[in-house]
Every structure is written in C-alpha cells, then in structure tokens.
Chain A
Amino acid sequence: MAMTQLKADVTGSVWKIVTSAGQALQPGDTVMILESMKMEIPVIAEDGGTLVELHVAEGQAVSEGQVLAVVRE
C-alpha cells in the first residue's frame, strides 16, 4: 500500500480543510484549499485513497514543498 505525501505547490496559508483523517477519497477529490496570492488553490488527491494524516490546520502558513497530508492508496 503506497503512501503518498501531498505537498504544497505554493507558499501561502491553509484557507479551508474540507476532509478529515480516515476519510475515503475518490481520485481528484479536494483535500484542502490553500490561499496564495488571493487565490484559492485546491490540494488534490490525484489517485484517491484514504486520508491517513493531516499535518496542518486552518489558518496555518505553509511554504512550497511542505507536506500537508498523507494519503494511503
């Protein structure tokens, strides 16, 4: 079972977390939404799976490359 780290593509902050740990994800589901440059940037689980860990909280500042969540495929 492959674990996939979802990383921030952008520097910004966590605007909204729309999932919770343990939740099943379909391919393409949005896990959370970052805010960067006044834009809402969705963080997507490309292959779906189960959300096993959330590493950030709403409002938290994140930098490019930071691990936001872990998904088990």
Chain B
Amino acid sequence: MTPGDMAERPAAAAPADAPWQGELDELAQRRAHARALGGAAAVDKHHQQGRLTIRERIDGVVDAGSFREVGQLTGAGKYDARGRLAGVTPAPYVMGLAKIDGRPVAIGGEDFTVRGGTSWSGDRKKGGQGGFVEDLAHQYRIPLVNLIDGAGGSVTSITRRGHAVFPGVHGFERSVQLMSEVPVVCAVLGTAAGGPAGRAILSHWSVMVRDTSHVFAAGPPVVERSLGQKVSKEELGGPDIAVAQAGTIDNVAASEAECFELIHRYLSYMPANVWQLPPRGATSDRVDRCEELLRTVVPENRRRPYDMRKVIRAVADHDSLFEIQPGFGKAVITCLARMNGYVVGFIANNPMVNGGAMDVKAARKQTHFIELCDCFHIPLVFLVDVPGFMVGKDAEAAATLREGMRSVYVGLQATVPIYTVVVRKCYGMAGMGTTDKNGLDFKIAWPSAEWGSLPIEGGVAAAFRREIEAAADPKAREAEIEAELRAVASPFRTAEAFGVEEIIDPRETRPVLCSFIEAAQGRLATSVGPKPKYGVRP
C-alpha cells in the first residue's frame, strides 16, 4: 500500500452533517457478517441436523437482551483490490457477558458452521480452552457457561502453521484455576472429541443432549485405525455410554431447549463465586411440615427396600430437587435442593440398588458431589441406609475399596456442615463416610436405624466360627447368637451412651434439619473463599 492509497480511505468521505457515517456503516456491515455465522447454507445444514446455531443457543440460555458480545468483529476479512471490505469469515467462537436470572455470567461456544468450530489463531484467543471468556469469568468472579460444539484439533494445522503445536499450549491452566473459583457449566451440544471433550470434563456440572451430542477422547475413525473396532458415534459416546455407564457427563437432556432449562436450574443453586454464599430461594413450604409418609416408608422387614427419593421429597422444600447424575452410580442419590430456602446437598443411599451398598460408581459420584458442595459452601445432608462397601470379586476388581476410601477421605476433608440422618443401616467404612468428623459430628437417627462395624448377619459366622462349628446344631446356634446380638443392637441403647446424638420421630426430620441449617448460616457466611486441598487423595 502506498501513501497515496492511504489518503483515499476505503470508506467514502462522510457528508459534513453525518461525521463518521462511512465508518459506522462499515461497523454495521461487519456486524452483519458476524451474525451470518458460516453463511446461510452452513446454517441450514446445521439446523437440518437438529442443532441450533451458537447465537440461537446463547439467546436460548441467557435473559432476553442481556448478551453483550465481545470480539464480534474477530475473523478473517476479505478485501477487494482497492482495500475495501468484501466480506468476513467470523472466528468460529462467539462469546461475551450476559445475565441468567438477573445474575452476570461469562458465556461462549464454538460456531460449528465455521470450519466445524475448530480453533482459530488471532492475536488473542476468544474461548474454548482458556481465552477471553474464561479470563472474564476469572477476573469478574462470575460463572462460566461453555456451549461446546467443536471437534478439537486437526492435523491440517501443521501445514497451516508450518510446525506442530505442543499439546495444551495456553488455556487449560485457566480452566483448571476456575474450578476452585466460580461455577463452571459445560454443555456438550454436538460431537466433542479431543480438547473440547476434555474441556467439558473440567466443569462442576456437565450436560449433553440425547441424539445430537457425543463425547469421546477420539471418534470412530481414530478408533477403527487404532484398534480395528468399528463403532458408531452413538455406541462410542452417546449418553448411554457417557452419562449412564461412564458418568463422564453428569446429566442428559432430551433437547437443546431442555438443556438450557437445566443450565438455568443448576446455576440457581450456585453462588456467583466461592467468595459468596448460594442465593437463598423463596419458599412457601412450611418448616414444620411433618409428612406422615416418613413414619411408614421404611418396611419393618429388613430385607425389603423402599423408595429413598420419596424420603428426600418429603424432607426438602417442595419442587426444590435437582438430581445430579441420576443415571449413574445409582446405589447413591445426589440432589441439590433447598431447606427453608437455603441451598443444601442431599446424599442418600438407594436400597433398591445393591441394597444401598457403595460400589465403585456410587463412590465416584459421592466424592464428586461432596467436593462440589464443599467448594460452594453448601451444607450436606446424608440420608443413610448403607450396609457397607459393595462386596464380591467384581467389586474388588473394580477398586471399590480404593474409590470408597477416596470418598471417605474427601468427606473428612470437607468443612461445610454435614448432617447425618440414619434412616436404616449404617455400617462399616461406608457408614463412617457419612458423618462430619470435622464439625459437630451430629448424627440424627430414626428408630429404624441400626449400625455397627458390619451387619450382624454377616459377622456372626466369622466371629463365632469355632463356637458354631462345635455346637450340636450349628445352624440353630448361629441363629441364637444372631438373636442375642440383635437384642442389644437397639439404637436406643446407643442413644443412652450418647453414641448417637438424637433419635427422632421420622416425621420430625424436616423441622429438625431446617433449624440446624438456618443456625449454620453464620458459620457459612464467615468461612467463604477458596478451599485449597492439601495432601494426596488415596
């Protein structure tokens, strides 16, 4: 470009009564290019696959009119021979500041209609892994919402750049840092492999959409090349694998619209950052509501299971439950909920699965949920009916003991108040992991409660082996010893020794918990901030 060209500005000179009109027109033109994403044809194709564009997604998540885009003009401009703008291919990432339920969030996502949402190299990265949107969440201490729809790196970048990129350059360190600072939500809204798939996992809560979302370390072509396995995207990374079997992603939504609703709902339980408490919600539910169901829900026959979700619903504020990982590790139920408007986390054993015994998946689920609640100052309520860790060859091979102890370890490191309600069984190390040894250690039991190092029926044969073998009728002797032990196992005897702090009528569970949770608010408010964890998880 010669100095002569410089004198002739690409935009036409503005009339005197409309200064800068040419520049404003160009801005409007550039904004129009940004809004057009990858062009009408690419957008149509995307829609035909049952997926929304990134701009529609952001509009679907945030409060109407609240999106303040940042980096809208970023992209690759095309110019004619005279240097005038002919068009812009937008950078394949859209992001900015917005509000969800009136509260600020940083939000962004890949634009699949531009080069499949693959990374783009400008002066500064917009988002994806790290980038401006994650800096925004960090600096402003506001939640980050990632709407992921990108397939990760491509080997073609070698020819484009002239060198191979070292993995993980710039970005993931910020993503990791955010995990101890602000709520991070990741929604997988397309096929996520490699970096974007990894990004989805670095979140406090993740969600994917049935039929249109898949997540894996590598997709079917790479799997076939590496292992000779022919698998479909659905078999490899659909929700049946990623959510139900692996617990890689927490929840599944039936549609993108439902996914956006779930994001709203999840964030309603979260503070903006770890320096604040979660917002107290309004409730019309009476604190002294005592449900009759709680008196009869536990069968007198110890072999009969019951529906623990009914217990949670009867205790928590009406319509306040949000179940995390409902399809994974089903031996334990983890729910965000409210008690008299205060956010709490319920961890309840599910006697319908393994009789409530903690298997490796349930242990992983419990570990994650304890850390989530501890990080955001959410008190925990355990509803306990656990006979112990899952036993058997499969359970041992799956490392139940290690994952189970990891869960116990994380529970003992947590500093939020923990309330333990023993509904029925509380045995062994899995039972120990439901109590608050760092705080008040306040255990409330129902009259149906029973506890010990291990269930009596399991322990008699081992502990009294010689005596049983020596008896004339070993079977009868075993039953006799069981009956003798059970007679002194009444929870009331433990209460006499103040070994359990209170035994209540099950109907009183809600009012009792509400009183202590309200009283704990002062402690919670004076112990906010990040919670560094030292040591080595077993």
- A residues apposed to B, CB below 8 Å: 9-11, 36-42, 63
Nearest first, the 8 closest Cβ-Cβ pairs linking A and B are A37-B355, A39-B355, A40-B303, A37-B357, A9-B353, A10-B354, A37-B354, A39-B305
Q: Is B160 an interface residue (CB 8 A)?
A: no
Separation in Å of the B368 CB from the closest CB of chain A? 21
Interface size on B, residues (CB 8 A): 19
Q: Contacts A9-B330, A11-B392; is A38 near B352 (CB within 8 Å)?
A: no
Q: Contacts A9-B330, A11-B394; is A36 near B303 (CB within 8 Å)?
A: no
* Cα-based distance from A9 to B353 in the complex (angstroms): 6
21 contacts between A and B (CB under 8 A): A9-B330, A9-B353, A10-B353, A10-B354, A10-B355, A11-B354, A11-B392, A11-B394, A37-B354, A37-B355, A37-B357, A37-B390, A37-B391, A38-B355, A38-B455, A39-B303, A39-B305, A40-B304, A41-B305, A41-B352, A41-B353
A37: nearest chain-B partner, CB-CB: B355
Known: A10-B354, A37-B355. 10 other contacts (CB 8 A): A9-B330, A9-B352, A9-B353, A10-B353, A11-B354, A37-B354, A38-B455, A39-B304, A40-B303, A41-B352
Binary contact track B296-323/A, C-beta < 8 Å → 1, others 0: 0000000111000000000000000000
Separation in Å of the B392 CB from the closest CB of chain A? 7
Are A40 and B353 in contact, CB atoms less than 8 angstroms apart?
A: no
Are B354 and A38 in contact, CB atoms less than 8 angstroms apart?
A: no
Q: Which residues of chain A have C-beta atoms less than 8 A from B304's C-beta?
A: 39-40
* Cα-based distance from A11 to B357 in the complex (angstroms): 11
Separation in Å of the A40 CB from the closest CB of chain B? 5
Q: Is B351 an interface residue (CB 8 A)?
A: yes
Q: Is B101 an interface residue (CB 8 A)?
A: no
* Cα-based distance from A58 to B179 in the complex (angstroms): 50
Separation in Å of the A64 CB from the closest CB of chain B? 8
Q: Which residues of chain B have C-beta atoms less than 8 A from A42's C-beta?
A: 305
Q: Which residues of chain B have C-beta atoms less than 8 A from A11's C-beta?
A: 354, 392, 394
